Amino acid sequence: MKYINKKLVIEKTSIENIAKKYGTPTYSYSYDQLRTNINNFKKSFKSFSPLICFSVKSNSNVNLIEEIKKFGLGADVVSIGELMTAIKAGINPKKIVFSGVGKTSNEIIYAIEKKILLINAESKSEIKEINRIAKLKKKKIKIGIRLNPNTDAKTLSQISTGKKENKFGVNEKTFIDLVKYCKNSRNILLSCLSVHIGSQILNHKPYERMLKVIDKIINKTNYKFEFIDLGGGMGITYNNKNRKLDYKKYNFAVNRFLKKHKSKIIFEPGRSIIGNTGTLISKIIYIKETKNKNFIILDAAMNDLMRPALYGATHKILPSKKIGKKTKKIYEFVGPICESTDKFITLKKFQKLKEKDIIAICDVGAYGMSLSSNYNLRLKPLELLIKKSKIRVIKKRQKYKDLI
């Protein structure tokens, strides 16, 4: 996104024109940004060409996943719904990994029937269940075991997953026991060690520590894993204060690891692929002035974008037109939902705004639409993909008849 002739544009299309034609609130994705992100990701790790499995939970729009597939990516899924979506988008099942602590028997059966690459199991009970189903189907199924490396990802506690108090994966001792257990399970072929320590990680050091733990455990088990799945978690810059993840250092650490262990690396990135491609376009309904603050009441709300209410996350807000006039007043950008947490950001010295103005909430491609809900019985927004000057509706706005 940039300003051209003082107008905010996504790949040449002004957000005002988008708002006029398609209404608000609307999610708009930039194809150009998506392509750049995928190419950069591939380039960062090209020395060992990993299998890149896009994390569908970050954005489950089937049309976007179809575009992502065209770059050769696979998918990381955590439910039968996500698995169906990935397959519908045309992703080769041999590039799909299935994560999650609570896969049901039906989900395991479906994954086996679709012949996906790996089911990453997270407990002994789950391994037993996979073995039972595989035996009934007279098949030998490739699985991974998710290790909890007890590594602090130095990110928000709500999105940290690799510490011993988290529900994810198994600890070192259990992991070693389960490797032995798998060797004796006739319908299972243990092929992968998987980890995922958290999301929005901006410091490479937790990844280095995680790799050290994996190295130690592989040495202890003395087992040859065909795949090492390092999960996702690569963070993006939501504001100027954010540091940037040093991909060179992460790449260096993986290469050092691969000198000792010859395995195929899998990554499961979500946010780093799709996060900064998405913008939520919204209209100001009312401006409510008080002595200390102006409440800018938007037509987008916490049901459309949950991250600020759920994690205290900040997303930049930009006006559709740059007029240069700044006000000294404090602006609190809120939605119409009946909750005090329905607020996006508080800003000082922002450009003067008026009712009916259009604004953009930035970097909402990941965990934006996928976390949206119908709270307050609000309709889910429309989604658009902008490719050069072409605009394509990739999901229609929900209708009341679907809801009521």
Distance of alpha carbon 333 from alpha carbon 12, whole angstroms: 26
Q: Which is nearer to ligand LLP, 57 or 95 (CB)?
A: 57
User: Which stretch of DSSP H or E encloses residue 318?
Assistant: strand 317-319
Query: Residue 259: CA atoms inside 13 Å, Cβ hemisphere, count?
Result: 6
381 lies in the binding site for ligand LLP (CB under 6 A) = no
Q: Which is nearer to ligand LLP, 198 or 319 (CB)?
A: 198
- The string of DSSP codes covering 102-145 is T--HHHHHHHHHTT-SEEEE-SHHHHHHHHHHHHHTT--EEEEE
Q: For the packed helices 124-136 and 105-113, what is the interaxial angle rounded to 10 degrees? A: 50
What's the closest the beta carbon of residue 307 comes to ligand LLP, in angstroms?
5
- Reported for 76-81, long-range contacts at CB under 8 A and 24+ positions apart, including other chains, are 76/232, 76/268, 76/270, 79/107, 80/104, 80/106, 80/107, 80/110
305 lies in the binding site for ligand LLP (CB under 6 A) = no
234 lies in the binding site for ligand LLP (CB under 6 A) = yes
Question: Per-residue string for binding with ligand LLP, 141-170, x by CB under 6 A?
Answer: ------------------x-x---------
- Residue 53 catalytic? no
Distance of alpha carbon 369 from alpha carbon 367, whole angstroms: 6
What's the closest the beta carbon of residue 297 comes to ligand LLP, in angstroms?
24
Stretch that binds ligand LLP, among 101-109, 110-118, 316-324, 363-371 (CB under 6 A): 363-371
33 lies in the binding site for ligand LLP (CB under 6 A) = no
Among candidate residues 87, 57, 26, 72, the one with its CA nearest the CA of residue 392? 26
What is the chain's alpha carbon radius of gyration, rounded to the nearest angstrom? 23
What's the closest the beta carbon of residue 313 comes to ligand LLP, in angstroms?
6
Q: Scan residues 163-222 and list those touching ligand LLP (CB under 6 A).
A: 196, 199-200
Stretch that binds ligand LLP, among 127-135, 265-273, 291-299, 321-329 (CB under 6 A): 265-273
What's the closest the beta carbon of residue 369 comes to ligand LLP, in angstroms?
11
Binder among 58, 61, 185, 282 for ligand LLP (CB under 6 A): 58
- The string of DSSP codes covering 290-307 is -SSEEEEEES--TTT--H
Q: Which is nearer to ligand LLP, 314 or 398 (CB)?
A: 314
Binder among 270, 278, 308, 319 for ligand LLP (CB under 6 A): 270
269 lies in the binding site for ligand LLP (CB under 6 A) = yes
Footprint of ligand LLP (CB under 6 A): 55, 57-58, 76, 99, 159, 161, 196, 199-200, 231-234, 268-272, 307, 311, 366-367, 371
Active site residues: 338
